[in-house]
Structure 1
Amino acid sequence: MSKKRPRAQPNVDTQLVELYDDLANENEGIRIKAAEAFSIKFSPTNHNSSQLISEALRRLIRGLCSSRYAARLGFSVALTEFLSQHWGIPSSTTGDLQISQLIDVLVKQTEVTGKVAGQEERDHHIGRVFGARAFIQSGILLQNDVPANAWDRTLDVIYEAAKNKPWLREMCGGILYEAAQMISEADHDPTFIRNLIRKLVSFGLAKTPEGVAIWLKVHKNFPQAELPTGIWRDENPIHKKEKSELARIMKETSIAERSDGENPEKLQKGSWTPKLHFAWNVILAELNREIPAEGRKEKSKTVRFKDFWQVAVDEHLFASTSSVERKYWGFLLFQQWFGSASRLLLPALFSPRFVRCLINQLASKERYLHLAAEKTVKSIMSRADLEPSVASIALRGLLANTSDQNLSFDILTKTKTVERLMVLGDDSSLRHFVPELCDKLVRPGVNDEKDATARRQITIDQLTILLKSRQSSVKQDPHSSDSLGLTCHILEVLATYSYFSMEKSHPNLADCPVPPMSERTQQTLRSRLSTCLSFLLTRNSEPAFFASHVVDVILRHEANERMHSILELTGTLGETIPNARTFLENIHNQASSESRDKPTLHAFELLYSLTMLQLYNGDPDAVSILEELRSCYDLLVERRQTADQVGPEVFVEILLSFVSKPSQLFRRLAQQVFTTFTPIVQHDGLRSMIKVLETEENLSGQDEMFEDDTVRSMDYSSDDDSAVGEVGMTNSNEVPSLSDADEDSQASSERDNGQIQSEDGDEEVAVFEAKLSRTLKAGESTDEDMNDEQMEALDETIATIFKERKKVVSKKKQKMDAKEMIVNFKCRVLELLEIFIKQRHKEQLALDLLVPLLTVTRTTTSKIVSVKACNVMRSFSKLCKGPAVPRVEDQDAIIKLLKEVHVEAMQKAHANACSQASLLLVKVLVANGKESLDDIFDIYSKTQRSLLDPRCGVKPSFFIDWVNWCNSAKPARQT
Structure 2
Amino acid sequence: MGFDKFATKKRRREPYNVDVKLVEIYEDLASEKDEIRLRAAQGLVSQFTPDKNPTDEQIKKTLQRLFRGLCSSRKAARIGFSIALTEVLTQIFSAPREFAEFGIADALKIWESQSNSTGSETGQEQRDHHFGRLFGAEAIIKSSILFQPSTPFTEWTKVLDLIFELAQKKPWLREECGWIIYRCVYDLSARKMDAKFVEAAVERLCSHDLARSPEGVAVWLAAKDMFPKAEFPSKVWKHDDPLDPKERGSLSKIMKESSAEQTEGENKGNKSSGVWNSKLHFAWDAVISRTSDVTKDGSKSKSKSARLSFVDFWTEVVDNGLFASSSSDERKYWGFLLFNKVLNEGSPQQANQIFTKNLVRCLTNQLAVEDRYLHRMAVKATKAVQTRVSKEPGFASAAVHGLMGTSGIVNFDQATKTKTIEKIVADANSDALEEIIPVFEKLILNPGTTDEKAAASNRQFVAGLLLSIVRAKATTGNDDSEENYQTVLEQILFIFVRFAYFMDSAPEPALSQATQELLRNRINSSLNSLLASQKYAATIPYAVVRQIRDGAKSQEHGKFIINMDDKLQDSVKIAFKSLKKLSSKEKKGETSSIAAFKLLYSLTVLQVYSGDADAVSMLDELEFCYTKFLGDDSKSKDTSDASDALVEILLSFASKQSQLFRRMSEQVFGAFADQVTENGLESLISILEAKESLAGQQEMFEEQDDDDEEEEDDEEEDDVEMIDVDDEDSDVEVVLGGGASDSESDSDEEEDDDNEEDAAEIAEFEAKLAAALGTHRAKQDDASDSDSDADMNDDEMEEVDEKLANVFRARHQAASQHKDKKDARENMVNFKNRVLDLLEIFVKKCHSRLLALDLLLPPSSDSPAARPVLREYTKLCKGNALPSIDAEDGPEAIWELLRAIHKEASHSGPSAHATACSQASLLVVKVLVGHDKAAIAEVVDVYAETRKAQLISSKCHIQPSFFTDWNNWCVSVSKQLKN
- Given the superposition, is the C-alpha separation of residues 924 and 413 from structure 1 closer, same or farther in structure 2, using an over 3 Å criterion? farther
Over residues 52-90 of structure 1, what are the superposed CA-to-partner deviations in whole Å (9 max), with x where a residue is unaligned? 111111111111111123211111111111111212321
Q: Which stretch of structure 1 is more off in the superposition, 585-594 or 525-534?
A: 585-594
1:637 aligns with 2:630: yes
What residue is the counterpart of 1:489 in the other structure?
491
Aligned ranges for residues 650-665 of structure 1 at < 5 Å?
A: 650-665=645-660
* 1:360-439 equivalence runs, <5 A: 360-363=365-368, 365-400=370-405, 405=410, 408-439=411-442
Would the aligned equivalents of 2:656 and 2:716 in 1 still touch at CA under 8 Å? no
Structure 1 residue 344: deviation in Å? 1.2
Aligned pair in 2 of structure 1 residues 83, 644: CA closer, same or farther (>3 Å)? closer
Match for 1:679: what amino acid? D
Q: Is the 8 Å Cα contact of residues 756 and 816 (structure 1) preserved in structure 2?
A: no
Distance 1:88 1:364, change over 3 A: same
Equivalent in the alignment of 2:132: 127
Is the CA contact (8 Å cut-off) linking 1:648 and 1:680 kept in structure 2?
A: yes
Instruction: Give 2:781's aligned residue.
Output: none
**Deviation for aligned residue 1:297:** 4.9
Q: Does 1:817 align with 2:823?
A: yes
1:183 aligned counterpart, secondary structure: helix
Q: CA deviation at 1:513?
A: 1.9
Of 240-249 and 958-967, more deviation after overlay is shown by 958-967
Q: In terms of mean alpha carbon deviation, does 122-131 or 41-50 score higher?
A: 41-50
1:733 aligns with: none
Is it true that 1:284 corresponds to 2:288 in the alignment?
A: yes
In the TM superposition, what is the alpha-carbon distance from 1:900 to its structure 2 partner? 2.6
Query: How far apart in 2 are the matches of 1:763 and 1:679?
Result: 51
2:609 alignment partner AA: Y
Classify the secondary structure of the residue corresponding to 1:69.
Answer: coil
In the alignment, the residues of structure 1 paired with residue 259 and residue 235 of structure 2 have an alpha-carbon distance, to the nearest angstrom, of 17
Which residue does the alignment assign to 2:613? 620
User: Is the Cα–Cα contact under 8 Å of residues 470 and 476 in structure 1 kept in the other structure?
Assistant: no
Q: Secondary structure at the match of 2:554?
A: coil
Mapped pair 1:334 → 2:339: yes
CA separation of 1:496 and 1:758: change in aligned 2, threshold 3 A: farther
Write the distance in 2 (CA, Å) between the matches of 1:701 and 1:215. 88
Deviations 1:727-754 (A, max 9, x none): xxxxxxxxxx65533226999x999x96
The structure-2 alpha-carbon separation of the partners of 1:498 and 1:266, relative to structure 1 and needing over 3 Å to count, comes to closer
State how far apart, in whole Å, the 2-side matches of 1:551 and 1:952 are.
Answer: 59
- Is 1:556 the counterpart of 2:550? The answer is yes
2:35 pairs with 1:35: no
| Distance (whole Å) between structure 2 residues aligned to residue 724 and residue 131 of structure 1 | 71
RMSD: 3.3
Change (3 A) 1:73 1:620: same
TM-score, normalised relative to structure 1: 0.89
Paired position in structure 1 for 2:70: 64
Q: Show the counterpart of 1:768.
A: 765
Q: Is the 8 A contact 1:194 1:226 kept in 2?
A: yes
Cα distance, 1:686 vs structure 2: 0.1
Partner of 2:530: 536
The AA in structure 2 aligned to 1:965 is W
1:512-568: CA deviations, max 9, x gaps? 222222111110111010111111112024622111111111121122143311111
Aligned equivalents of 1:256 and 1:940: distance in 2?
A: 96
Instruction: Give the Cα separation in 1 of the matches to 2:404 and 2:959.
Output: 63
Q: Name the residue aligned to 2:209.
A: 204
User: 2:898, 2:924 within 8 Å by CA — same for their partners in 1?
Assistant: yes
Alpha carbons of 1:707 and 1:383: their partners in 2 closer, same or farther (altered >3 Å)?
A: same
Q: Using the alignment, how far apart are the partners of 2:752 and 2:539 within structure 1?
A: 42
Q: Alpha carbons of 1:764 and 1:358: their partners in 2 closer, same or farther (altered >3 Å)?
A: same
- Of 498, 512, 527, which aligns to 1:518? 512
Deviation at 1:941, TM superposition (A): 4.2
2:729 is aligned to: 740
State how many pairs are aligned. Answer: 935
1:962 matches 2:966 = yes
**Superimposed CA distance per residue, residues 297-325 of structure 1 (whole angstroms, 9 cap, x where no aligned partner):** 55834333233323333344344554444
The separation in 1 between residues aligned to 2:53 and 2:98, in whole angstroms, is: 9
Which of 870, 876, 879 is the matching residue for 2:876?
879
The match for 2:885 is 888
Task: Establish whether residue 187 from structure 1 lines up as the match of residue 192 from structure 2.
Answer: yes
Kindly indicate which of the two structures has a greater share of residues assigned to helix.
2
Query: More deviation in 817-826 or 949-958?
Result: 949-958
Instruction: Give the match for residue 795 of structure 1.
Output: 801
Alpha carbons of structure 1 residues 445 and 107: separation in structure 2 relative to 1, 3 Å: same
> 1:293-352: CA deviations, max 9, x gaps?
536455834333233323333344344554444333222222211111111121322233
Confirm whether residue 274 of structure 1 aligns to residue 273 of structure 2.
no
**For 1:647, what is the secondary structure of its paired residue?**
helix
Q: Which moved more, 1:217-226 or 1:310-319?
A: 310-319
Determine helix, strand or coil for the equivalent of 1:188.
Answer: coil
- Look up the SS of the partner of 2:94 in the other structure: coil
Question: 2:42 and 2:977 mapped to 1: Cα distance?
Answer: 85
Match of 1:91 in 2: 97
How far did residue 281 of structure 1 move?
1.1
- Are 1:146 and 2:151 matched, yes or no? yes
Report 1:940-951 matches (<5 A): 940-944=943-947
The AA in structure 2 aligned to 1:28 is D
Matched, 1:584 2:590: no
- Over 3 Å counting, the alpha-carbon distance change for 1:172 and 1:615 in structure 2 is same
- The alpha-carbon deviation at position 372 of structure 1 amounts to 3.1
CA drift of 1:245 comes to 2.2
Partner Cα separation in structure 2 for residue 320 and residue 256 of structure 1: 17
1:24 to 30, 53, 59: 30
Q: Distance in 1 between matches of 2:536 and 2:469?
A: 21
Partner of 1:783: 789
Question: Which residue identity lines up with residue 438 of structure 1 in the other structure?
Answer: E
Question: Amino acid of the residue matched to residue 43 of structure 1?
Answer: T
Following superposition, the deviation at residue 452 of structure 1 comes to 1.8
Identity %: 40
* 2-structure distance, mates of 1:553, 1:442: 19
8 Å CA contact retained: 2:470, 2:529: no
Q: Distance in 2 between matches of 1:724 and 1:36?
A: 72
Distance in 2 (alpha carbons) for counterparts of 1:262 and 1:693 = 86
CA distance in 2, matches of 1:366, 1:874: 55
Alpha-carbon distance change, 91 to 914 in structure 1, aligned in 2, over 3 angstroms: farther
Match of 2:782 in 1: none
Retained in 2: the 8 A contact 1:427–1:470?
no
Please tell me whether residue 246 in structure 1 is matched to residue 248 in structure 2: no
CA contact (8 A) 1:608 1:626 kept: yes
Query: Which residue type is aligned with residue 275 of structure 2?
Result: S
Q: Which deviates more from structure 2 when the two are superposed, residues 144-153 or residues 758-767?
A: 758-767
Higher mean C-alpha displacement, 150-159 vs 708-717: 708-717
Equivalent of residue 603 in structure 2, options 593, 600, 610: 610
Question: Deviation string for 1:227-274 (max 9, x for gaps)?
Answer: 2233222222222232232222222269999xxx99948856443332
Shift, 1:953, TM fit: 5.2
1:932: Cα distance to partner?
3.0
Q: Distance in 1 between matches of 2:977 and 2:566?
A: 80
Counterpart of 2:779 in structure 1 is none
What's the secondary structure of 1:513's corresponding residue?
coil
State the alpha-carbon separation in 1 of the partners of residues 860 and 901 from structure 2.
8
Contact 2:847–2:877 under 8 Å retained in 1 = yes
Evaluate the alpha carbon distance shift between residue 716 and residue 447 of structure 1 in structure 2; reply closer, same or farther with a 3 A threshold.
closer
1:555-574 to structure 2, matched below 5 A, reads 555-562=549-556, 563-574=558-569
| Contact 1:207–1:254 under 8 Å retained in 2 | no
Q: Which runs of 5+ in 2 are unaligned?
A: 776-784
Instruction: Summarize deviations over 1:566-609 as a string: whole Å, max 9, x none.
Output: 111224223333333333222322332247xx332222221111
| Cα pair distance change 1:689/1:893, threshold 3 Å | same
Match of 1:700 among 695, 698, 715: 695
Alignment of 1:440 with 2:443, yes or no, is yes
Unaligned stretches of 5+ residues in structure 1? 504-511, 727-736, 859-865
Residue identity in the other structure for 2:622: L
Match of residue 643 from structure 2: 648
Task: Work out whether residues 19 and 34 of structure 1, in 8 Å CA contact, stay in contact via their aligned partners in 2.
Answer: yes
Deviates more, 1:519-528 or 1:263-272: 263-272
- Aligned-partner Cα distance in 1 for 2:317–2:972: 82
